[in-house]
Chains A and B, each alone.
Chain A
Amino acid sequence: MDLKFTAEDNLFREQVRSWLRDNIPREPRPVDGPEMRAFDAAWQLKQYEAGYAGMSWPKKYGGRDCSIVERLIWYEEYARAGAPWSGCMIIGLNHAGHIILSNGTEEQKEAHLNKILRGEEVWCQGFSEPGAGSDLAGLKTRAETDGDELVVNGTKIWTSFSSVADYQELLVRTAPLATKHKGLSCVICDMRTPGITVKPIETMVGHWHFAQIFYDDVRLPLKNVVGGLNNGWRVALDTLGVERAITCILDQVELIHALESLVTIAKKRKGPDGIRPAICDEEIAVRLATARAEVNALRSLTYMTVSRSQAGVVPGAEGSIIRLFYSELMQRIRRIAVDILGVDALDAEVEGGWPERYLDMFRATIAAGTSEIQRNIIGEQVLGLPR
């Protein structure tokens, strides 16, 4: 047991630290439209050209294929440098690319992987439907075989980045509803295919990139199916345990920085009694102290998962523990911010927009598996409680 990084690790850390310092974009990231895509694409390409894209992907497709520890170091330094989040590249990099890598045909890999790493392709996900959220296996968007094509009809909702996306990893029903998750297929959908209508949805924060998508006799090549017909559930819901665990360190370092900036705000601004700084208010101080402890624990949890991966243990349902803990911790921290800011929180943009970030965090315990579902998974798959 140790926390020692080797000399090579430390050299790598120095290299990436100085590269990031010299290369991260200094201008603010546009939150919408073609400017946003251009910004994200440019930053992604820059990383690719320096050899820092696809850290766990094979070199054959342009990845770096480096060790777990190096990936850990990269994400730590990335967050420390305050580098912008991948934005609309995120689904291609964090999910679609992986499932194609693990399940795709060589043709699919050649067509997409390198472009994803270069920031030339934007992906979105088509999973949830108005009638299929937590019960995703009950989804109804169907795809009927017609020759060498699939004809898709139905609707998807909560799709992020669909208005700027080139491709979608689309989960469709290719066998009767009664077969539930056994009748689903994952298919690559070109977003320019005729019959697709994207209808943006405004969130309670006022922006985000949600949309509802309607599929009206959309024809997709059968060869776009990933991992075989009726195998979509396993393919699309691959938890990507190891990589997920490692990239969590990025979230965690970002969260430490966010929390410490909040501590600074609490030291600076007057608190509830209008006299002493907010940090002198005991209730605020205790909540900040506990948040500090929890944010460090998140880092320790990630190290533990990385340690398990190195020992060859494939991460399973325990991943739900980190996800649940992280999402609820983020919400707690945003809520503390609102209480620190007091009446000033009514100005949604105060102190860099903390109040808006509070509103934005309601999705953390809903998206990608609600916290109730996560608790069910922990109870059943980690603790062995009966269904």
Chain B
Amino acid sequence: MVNILPGEEQQQLVESVADFLSDQLPVERLRSGGGEISRENDLWSEIIELGWFAMSLDEEQGGYGFPFADEVLMYREFGRYLLSPTILATRLALHAASFNKDAELADQLKTGKCRAAIGLIRPEASFGSEQASGTFYLIDSENIDVITIWNENGFGIFKREDFQSFLNVKSLDWSSMITVCQAENLAPEIWVDTKSMPLSQQAMILVSAMLAGNAEGTRDMAVEYAKLREQFGKPIGSFQAIKHHCANMAVRCETAWAQTLYAALALSEGLPSAQYDAHAARILTTDAAIKNGEVNIQVHGGIGFTAEAEPQLFLKRAHLYNQIGGNIRYHQNQLISLDNVDI
């Protein structure tokens, strides 16, 4: 049976996640902005209780053994509610620690005693299994113990305290704290190379899911606004220009999400096209999130340009997510260098 759609149980899982998020972490929480760490931190113990980090970890390793596709569905909701990528960092670190049989670190991550955040590689920095050197960006890393950084070679967990010269920049994304720092021949605490475990492909697809959720958020916001806002005696959504903006958003969402689902299943089933399909998903979801974010501002007119309104929150988050694990240009370069194995 070929079926890339979520079944009933999966829909229930999605609903329970969405209910929690709309209740505890609604998008309005980010309106104050100004670089404060978002409220997820306050809810960390509850999130741990919900088992979100260990969803797709094998049961033998202390996880819940859910299919990867289920996790992808959850991350779409995380994206829709503009969650900090810290949740992704913790999930990835947990899987890496478990794979490396570091039971102590795995346990600390699972119970919240050790906390992880995302690190980004600046272009001239070097990054590999032996060391990291140069300039890095850390996202929401205050009170964080370990940093997760990866590229096509592999995935590394580093101790935050081993980085130097921390400096908080004025973040483009007001909902996040961006810290620039230096590394000098920094050895990872844990290293997993992509050949032994598809962690970077999983990361690619999970980020894609977050971008997809983000893109759907702006599509829905624009459509909602187009139905309500009236000018010239009618809802602006009845004017073709606005209608077509919304239609374009819908097309971007549908194509990007279908590809994300397919990539998730291709990876789970170990299909030869998984890497290729994952890059494809990452490219399309990024394009969807950023373009939809931009058009959503446009559809909102003057209001869209204000700090108080939500369109700017989504757009800025989209740009943040885009940089995780390499931005869209990186993935385009990767995709053109691969062979299409389905031919």
Q: Bound complex: CA of A324 vs CA of B240, how far in Å?
A: 16
> Is B291's beta carbon under 8 Å from chain A?
no
Q: List 13 A-B contacts (CB under 8 A).
A: A3-B271, A286-B329, A289-B336, A292-B280, A292-B336, A296-B259, A296-B276, A304-B5, A311-B5, A321-B250, A321-B255, A375-B244, A378-B250
Give per-residue flags for B36-66: 1 if the beta carbon is below 8 A from chain A beta carbons, else 0. 0000000000000000000000000000000
Which residue of B7, B240, B254 is within 8 Å of A321 (Cβ)? B254
The closest CB in chain A to the CB of B240 belongs to: A376
Q: Bound complex: CA of A1 vs CA of B264, how far in Å?
A: 10
Q: Cβ of B254 and Cβ of A293 under 8 Å apart? A: no
Residues of A within 8 A of B3 (CB): 1-2, 307, 310-311
Q: Which of B104-112, B230-238, B304-312 contacts A (4 or more CB under 8 A)?
A: B230-238
> Is B303's beta carbon under 8 Å from chain A?
no
Q: Cβ of A3 and Cβ of B2 under 8 Å apart? A: yes
Q: Which of A126-134, A181-189, A379-387 contacts B (4 or more CB under 8 A)?
A: A379-387
Q: Cβ of A383 and Cβ of B223 under 8 Å apart? A: yes
The closest CB in chain B to the CB of A299 belongs to: B262
Assuming the A-B contacts A296-B276, A325-B255, A385-B227, are A378 and B4 also in contact, with contact meaning beta carbons closer than 8 angstroms in the complex? no
User: Among A72, A260, A297, which residue has the most Cβ atoms of chain B within 10 A?
Assistant: A297
> Is A144's beta carbon under 8 Å from chain B?
no
> Is B82's beta carbon under 8 Å from chain A?
no
Give per-residue flags for B1-14: 1 if the beta carbon is below 8 A from chain A beta carbons, else 0. 11111110010000
Residues of B within 8 A of A318 (CB): 254
> Is B265's beta carbon under 8 Å from chain A?
yes
Q: Cβ of B2 and Cβ of A2 under 8 Å apart? A: yes
Q: Cβ of A294 and Cβ of B258 under 8 Å apart? A: no
> Is A290's beta carbon under 8 Å from chain B?
yes
> Is A96's beta carbon under 8 Å from chain B?
no
Residues of A within 8 A of B251 (CB): 321, 324-325, 378
Q: Cβ of B269 and Cβ of A296 under 8 Å apart? A: no
> Is B165's beta carbon under 8 Å from chain A?
no
Assuming the A-B contacts A69-B2, A257-B343, A378-B251, are A293 and B283 also in contact, with contact meaning beta carbons closer than 8 angstroms in the complex? yes
Query: What number of B residues sit within 8 Å (CB to CB) of A?
Result: 56
Q: Cβ of B340 and Cβ of A2 under 8 Å apart? A: no
- Could you tell me which residues of chain A, from 325 to 364, have a CB within 8 Å of some CB in chain B? 325
> Is A4's beta carbon under 8 Å from chain B?
yes
Q: Cβ of B258 and Cβ of A304 under 8 Å apart? A: yes
Q: Bound complex: CA of A325 vs CA of B254, how far in Å?
A: 10
Q: Cβ of B7 and Cβ of A1 under 8 Å apart? A: yes
> Is A55's beta carbon under 8 Å from chain B?
no
Which residue of A6, A290, A296, A379 is within 8 Å of B277 (Cβ)? A296
Closest 6 CB pairs of A and B: A379-B243, A293-B280, A300-B262, A385-B237, A289-B332, A375-B247
> Is A207's beta carbon under 8 Å from chain B?
no
Residues of A within 8 A of B329 (CB): 286
- Could you tell me which residues of chain B, from 70 to 86, have a CB within 8 Å of some CB in chain A? none
Shortest beta-carbon distance from A193 to chain B in Å:
41
> Is B196's beta carbon under 8 Å from chain A?
no
Q: Bound complex: CA of A292 vs CA of B283, how far in Å?
A: 10
Which residue of B261, B273, B277, B336 is within 8 Å of A279 (Cβ)? B336
Q: How large is the interface on A (under 10, 10 to 19, 20 to 34, 35 or more residues)?
A: 35 or more
Q: Cβ of B250 and Cβ of A382 under 8 Å apart? A: yes
> Is B205's beta carbon under 8 Å from chain A?
no
> Is B266's beta carbon under 8 Å from chain A?
yes
Shortest beta-carbon distance from A380 to chain B in Å:
7
Q: Bound complex: CA of A324 vs CA of B271, how far in Å?
A: 29
> Is A306's beta carbon under 8 Å from chain B?
yes
Shortest beta-carbon distance from A66 to chain B in Å:
14
Q: Cβ of A385 and Cβ of B340 under 8 Å apart? A: no
Shortest beta-carbon distance from A63 to chain B in Å:
22
Assuming the A-B contacts A69-B1, A292-B340, A386-B235, are A1 and B335 also in contact, with contact meaning beta carbons closer than 8 angstroms in the complex? no
> Is A308's beta carbon under 8 Å from chain B?
yes
- Could you tell me which residues of chain A, from 300 to 314, have a CB within 8 Å of some CB in chain B? 300-301, 303-304, 306-308, 310-311
> Is A196's beta carbon under 8 Å from chain B?
no
Shortest beta-carbon distance from B270 to chain A in Å:
11
Shortest beta-carbon distance from A262 to chain B in Å:
12
- Could you tell me which residues of chain B, from 311 to 340, have a CB within 8 Å of some CB in chain A? 329, 331-333, 335-336, 340
Q: Cβ of B246 and Cβ of A379 under 8 Å apart? A: yes
Residues of B within 8 A of A378 (CB): 246-247, 250-251
Known: A3-B269, A310-B1, A382-B250. 9 other contacts (CB 8 A): A285-B333, A293-B281, A294-B280, A297-B259, A300-B255, A304-B258, A304-B261, A375-B240, A385-B246
Residues of A within 8 A of B277 (CB): 296
Residues of A within 8 A of B171 (CB): none
> Is B226's beta carbon under 8 Å from chain A?
yes
Q: Bound complex: CA of A256 vs CA of B271, how far in Å?
A: 18
Which residue of B10, B248, B259 is within 8 Å of A1 (Cβ)? B10
Q: Cβ of B280 and Cβ of A379 under 8 Å apart? A: no
Q: Cβ of B332 and Cβ of A290 under 8 Å apart? A: yes
Q: Cβ of B258 and Cβ of A289 under 8 Å apart? A: no
Q: Cβ of B269 and Cβ of A4 under 8 Å apart? A: yes
Residues of B within 8 A of A383 (CB): 223, 246-247, 250
The closest CB in chain B to the CB of A328 belongs to: B251
Which residue of B226, B240, B243, B335 is within 8 Å of A292 (Cβ)? B335
Q: Cβ of B261 and Cβ of A260 under 8 Å apart? A: no
> Is A5's beta carbon under 8 Å from chain B?
yes
Q: Bound complex: CA of A211 vs CA of B284, how far in Å?
A: 40
Residues of B within 8 A of A263 (CB): 336, 340
Residues of A within 8 A of B69 (CB): 1
Give per-residue flags for A272-294: 1 if the beta carbon is below 8 A from chain B beta carbons, else 0. 00000001000001101110111
- Could you tell me which residues of chain B, from 110 to 126, have a CB within 8 Å of some CB in chain A? none
Q: Cβ of B237 and Cβ of A307 under 8 Å apart? A: no
Q: Bound complex: CA of A288 vs CA of B335, how far in Å?
A: 9
Residues of A within 8 A of B234 (CB): 386
> Is B279's beta carbon under 8 Å from chain A?
yes
